[in-house]
Structure 1
Amino acid sequence: MSVWIAIIFTGCLTFGTRFLPLSPLMPEKLPGWLQLAMKFVPVSVLSAIIIPAIFISEDTGYIVIQDNLRITAAIVAIFVAYFSRSTAITILSGLSVIWILTFLE
Protein backbone atom coordinates (compact mmCIF):
# COMPACT_ATOMS: atom_id res chain seq x y z
CA MET A 1 0.00 0.00 0.00
CA SER A 2 2.78 2.46 0.86
CA VAL A 3 4.41 1.84 -2.53
CA TRP A 4 1.25 3.03 -4.27
CA ILE A 5 1.14 6.14 -2.10
CA ALA A 6 4.76 6.88 -2.99
CA ILE A 7 4.04 6.39 -6.70
CA ILE A 8 0.97 8.65 -6.63
CA PHE A 9 2.77 11.32 -4.58
CA THR A 10 5.78 11.28 -6.92
CA GLY A 11 3.50 11.47 -9.97
CA CYS A 12 1.61 14.46 -8.54
CA LEU A 13 4.85 16.19 -7.62
CA THR A 14 6.28 15.63 -11.10
CA PHE A 15 3.08 16.85 -12.75
CA GLY A 16 3.04 19.95 -10.55
CA THR A 17 6.60 20.93 -11.37
CA ARG A 18 5.89 20.54 -15.09
CA PHE A 19 2.45 22.16 -15.14
CA LEU A 20 2.75 25.16 -12.83
CA PRO A 21 5.28 27.19 -14.85
CA LEU A 22 3.03 26.88 -17.92
CA SER A 23 -0.31 27.34 -16.20
CA PRO A 24 -2.37 30.53 -16.20
CA LEU A 25 -2.15 30.47 -12.40
CA MET A 26 1.40 31.79 -12.54
CA PRO A 27 1.95 35.55 -12.81
CA GLU A 28 3.22 37.03 -16.08
CA LYS A 29 6.44 38.23 -14.49
CA LEU A 30 8.25 36.55 -11.62
CA PRO A 31 9.35 38.58 -8.59
CA GLY A 32 12.83 40.08 -8.75
CA TRP A 33 14.25 37.88 -6.01
CA LEU A 34 13.09 34.76 -7.85
CA GLN A 35 14.50 35.96 -11.17
CA LEU A 36 17.83 36.59 -9.44
CA ALA A 37 17.79 33.11 -7.90
CA MET A 38 16.90 31.49 -11.24
CA LYS A 39 20.12 32.85 -12.79
CA PHE A 40 22.11 30.43 -10.63
CA VAL A 41 20.11 27.30 -11.44
CA PRO A 42 22.03 26.20 -14.59
CA VAL A 43 25.41 26.67 -12.93
CA SER A 44 24.41 24.77 -9.81
CA VAL A 45 22.80 21.90 -11.71
CA LEU A 46 25.76 21.49 -14.07
CA SER A 47 28.19 21.68 -11.15
CA ALA A 48 26.28 18.97 -9.31
CA ILE A 49 26.55 16.73 -12.38
CA ILE A 50 30.08 17.51 -13.55
CA ILE A 51 32.12 17.75 -10.32
CA PRO A 52 31.35 14.19 -9.13
CA ALA A 53 31.97 12.86 -12.65
CA ILE A 54 35.45 14.40 -12.60
CA PHE A 55 36.62 13.72 -9.06
CA ILE A 56 34.86 10.54 -7.85
CA SER A 57 36.27 7.18 -8.93
CA GLU A 58 33.86 4.83 -10.65
CA ASP A 59 35.57 1.81 -9.11
CA THR A 60 35.88 2.80 -5.46
CA GLY A 61 33.46 5.69 -5.06
CA TYR A 62 36.17 7.76 -3.37
CA ILE A 63 37.56 11.13 -4.42
CA VAL A 64 40.61 10.62 -6.63
CA ILE A 65 43.08 13.45 -7.25
CA GLN A 66 46.31 11.64 -8.11
CA ASP A 67 46.55 10.03 -11.58
CA ASN A 68 43.12 11.32 -12.58
CA LEU A 69 43.00 11.98 -16.33
CA ARG A 70 39.59 13.62 -16.06
CA ILE A 71 41.01 16.53 -14.05
CA THR A 72 43.52 17.30 -16.81
CA ALA A 73 40.81 17.04 -19.46
CA ALA A 74 38.51 19.29 -17.43
CA ILE A 75 41.20 21.96 -17.07
CA VAL A 76 41.89 21.88 -20.81
CA ALA A 77 38.15 22.04 -21.53
CA ILE A 78 37.75 25.06 -19.24
CA PHE A 79 40.47 26.97 -21.08
CA VAL A 80 39.10 25.98 -24.48
CA ALA A 81 35.58 27.00 -23.44
CA TYR A 82 36.81 30.35 -22.18
CA PHE A 83 38.65 31.22 -25.38
CA SER A 84 36.48 29.57 -28.03
CA ARG A 85 32.98 30.03 -26.55
CA SER A 86 31.99 26.93 -28.53
CA THR A 87 30.31 23.96 -26.88
CA ALA A 88 31.27 21.52 -29.62
CA ILE A 89 34.94 22.51 -29.62
CA THR A 90 35.01 22.32 -25.81
CA ILE A 91 33.56 18.81 -25.75
CA LEU A 92 35.86 17.63 -28.52
CA SER A 93 38.92 19.06 -26.80
CA GLY A 94 38.07 17.41 -23.48
CA LEU A 95 37.40 14.06 -25.13
CA SER A 96 40.59 14.35 -27.19
CA VAL A 97 42.68 14.97 -24.09
CA ILE A 98 41.18 11.93 -22.35
CA TRP A 99 41.74 9.73 -25.42
CA ILE A 100 45.33 10.90 -25.90
CA LEU A 101 46.25 10.52 -22.22
CA THR A 102 44.60 7.09 -22.06
CA PHE A 103 46.54 6.02 -25.15
CA LEU A 104 49.83 7.29 -23.66
CA GLU A 105 49.36 5.47 -20.34
Structure 2
Amino acid sequence: MTEFLLIVGMFLVTFSVRYVLFGVAGRVRFPPWLTTALNFVPPAVLTAIIVPALLLPRGELWLEADNPWLISGVFAALISFWRKDLLTTIVAGMLFFMLLRLGFGL
Protein backbone atom coordinates (compact mmCIF):
# COMPACT_ATOMS: atom_id res chain seq x y z
CA MET A 1 0.00 0.00 0.00
CA THR A 2 2.89 2.35 0.73
CA GLU A 3 4.22 1.96 -2.82
CA PHE A 4 0.80 2.72 -4.27
CA LEU A 5 0.49 5.92 -2.22
CA LEU A 6 4.01 6.89 -3.26
CA ILE A 7 3.18 6.43 -6.95
CA VAL A 8 -0.10 8.37 -6.60
CA GLY A 9 1.72 11.17 -4.78
CA MET A 10 4.41 11.40 -7.46
CA PHE A 11 1.70 11.46 -10.13
CA LEU A 12 -0.18 14.28 -8.39
CA VAL A 13 2.93 16.41 -7.94
CA THR A 14 4.13 15.87 -11.51
CA PHE A 15 0.71 16.39 -13.06
CA SER A 16 -0.08 19.51 -11.03
CA VAL A 17 3.20 21.23 -11.91
CA ARG A 18 2.83 20.48 -15.60
CA TYR A 19 -0.87 21.31 -15.69
CA VAL A 20 -0.29 24.73 -14.17
CA LEU A 21 2.50 25.50 -16.63
CA PHE A 22 0.44 24.40 -19.64
CA GLY A 23 -2.59 26.26 -18.31
CA VAL A 24 -0.82 29.63 -18.25
CA ALA A 25 1.43 29.02 -21.27
CA GLY A 26 -0.47 31.28 -23.67
CA ARG A 27 -1.02 34.10 -21.19
CA VAL A 28 2.53 34.68 -19.97
CA ARG A 29 5.01 36.65 -22.07
CA PHE A 30 8.67 36.51 -21.18
CA PRO A 31 10.93 39.50 -21.72
CA PRO A 32 13.12 39.24 -24.83
CA TRP A 33 16.31 38.82 -22.80
CA LEU A 34 14.82 35.81 -20.97
CA THR A 35 13.59 34.25 -24.21
CA THR A 36 17.08 34.63 -25.67
CA ALA A 37 18.63 33.10 -22.56
CA LEU A 38 16.20 30.16 -22.61
CA ASN A 39 17.30 29.33 -26.16
CA PHE A 40 20.65 28.25 -24.69
CA VAL A 41 19.14 25.73 -22.26
CA PRO A 42 18.87 22.70 -24.62
CA PRO A 43 22.49 22.93 -25.87
CA ALA A 44 23.72 23.43 -22.31
CA VAL A 45 21.81 20.41 -21.02
CA LEU A 46 22.94 18.19 -23.90
CA THR A 47 26.53 19.30 -23.37
CA ALA A 48 26.28 18.50 -19.67
CA ILE A 49 25.09 14.99 -20.54
CA ILE A 50 27.35 14.20 -23.51
CA VAL A 51 30.74 15.60 -22.47
CA PRO A 52 31.09 13.50 -19.30
CA ALA A 53 29.99 10.41 -21.24
CA LEU A 54 32.74 11.00 -23.80
CA LEU A 55 35.55 12.13 -21.53
CA LEU A 56 34.79 10.17 -18.34
CA PRO A 57 33.38 6.78 -19.45
CA ARG A 58 35.27 4.94 -16.70
CA GLY A 59 34.85 7.60 -14.03
CA GLU A 60 38.15 9.34 -14.68
CA LEU A 61 39.44 11.59 -17.44
CA TRP A 62 40.40 9.51 -20.49
CA LEU A 63 41.94 11.66 -23.26
CA GLU A 64 43.84 8.97 -25.13
CA ALA A 65 43.60 7.61 -28.66
CA ASP A 66 42.08 4.34 -27.42
CA ASN A 67 38.93 5.95 -25.99
CA PRO A 68 36.18 4.66 -28.31
CA TRP A 69 33.56 7.00 -26.78
CA LEU A 70 35.64 10.08 -27.53
CA ILE A 71 36.62 8.93 -31.03
CA SER A 72 33.00 8.10 -31.86
CA GLY A 73 31.83 11.44 -30.49
CA VAL A 74 34.30 13.34 -32.67
CA PHE A 75 33.25 11.23 -35.67
CA ALA A 76 29.56 11.90 -34.95
CA ALA A 77 30.26 15.64 -34.64
CA LEU A 78 32.00 15.64 -38.02
CA ILE A 79 29.08 13.76 -39.59
CA SER A 80 26.69 16.24 -37.98
CA PHE A 81 28.52 19.25 -39.40
CA TRP A 82 28.71 17.61 -42.81
CA ARG A 83 25.18 16.16 -43.18
CA LYS A 84 23.17 18.35 -40.78
CA ASP A 85 20.80 15.44 -40.14
CA LEU A 86 20.14 14.10 -36.64
CA LEU A 87 19.22 10.54 -37.61
CA THR A 88 22.26 10.15 -39.86
CA THR A 89 24.48 11.49 -37.09
CA ILE A 90 23.10 9.08 -34.50
CA VAL A 91 23.23 6.02 -36.73
CA ALA A 92 26.71 6.79 -38.08
CA GLY A 93 28.07 7.50 -34.60
CA MET A 94 26.62 4.30 -33.17
CA LEU A 95 27.87 2.20 -36.09
CA PHE A 96 31.33 3.73 -35.76
CA PHE A 97 31.31 3.04 -32.02
CA MET A 98 30.30 -0.58 -32.61
CA LEU A 99 33.04 -0.92 -35.23
CA LEU A 100 35.61 0.39 -32.77
CA ARG A 101 34.38 -1.80 -29.91
CA LEU A 102 33.70 -5.03 -31.80
CA GLY A 103 35.92 -4.71 -34.86
CA PHE A 104 39.04 -3.22 -33.32
CA GLY A 105 38.52 -4.28 -29.71
CA LEU A 106 38.87 -0.80 -28.22
2:82 corresponding residue in structure 1: 83
Structure 2 unaligned spans of 5+: 1-8
**What SS does the aligned partner of 1:82 have?**
helix
TM-score, normalised to structure 2's length?
0.73
Residues 25 and 100 of structure 1, relative CA distance in 2, 3 Å threshold: closer
Deviates more, 1:49-58 or 1:36-45: 49-58
Give runs of aligned pairs for residues 49-88 of structure 1, distance below 5 A: 49-58=49-58, 61-66=59-64, 67-88=66-87
Partner of 2:96: 97
Q: Provide the TM-score with structure 1 as the length reference.
A: 0.74
**Whole-Å separation in 2 of the counterparts to 1:33 and 1:17:** 24
The alpha-carbon deviation at position 27 of structure 1 amounts to 3.6
Partners of 1:90 and 1:44 in 2: CA distance: 19
The offset of 1:26, in angstroms, is 6.9
Q: For the residues of structure 2 that align with 1:104 and 1:73, how far apart are their CA atoms?
A: 13
The percent identity for this pair of structures is 27
Q: SS at the partner of 1:96? A: helix
Q: How many pairs are equivalent?
A: 97
Q: Distance in 1 between matches of 2:71 and 2:47?
A: 17
Q: Relative to 1, partners in 2 of residues 1:35 and 1:16: Cα closer, same or farther, differing over 3 Å?
A: farther
Map 1:9-88; keep pairs closer than 5 Å. Answer: 12=13, 14=14, 17-24=17-24, 27-58=27-58, 61-66=59-64, 67-88=66-87
Check whether the contact 2:57–2:69 (CA below 8 A) recurs between aligned residues.
Answer: no
TM superposition shift of 1:68? 0.6
- Aligned CA-pair RMSD: 2.6
In the alignment, is the contact (CA less than 8 A) between 1:20 and 1:26 conserved in 2?
no
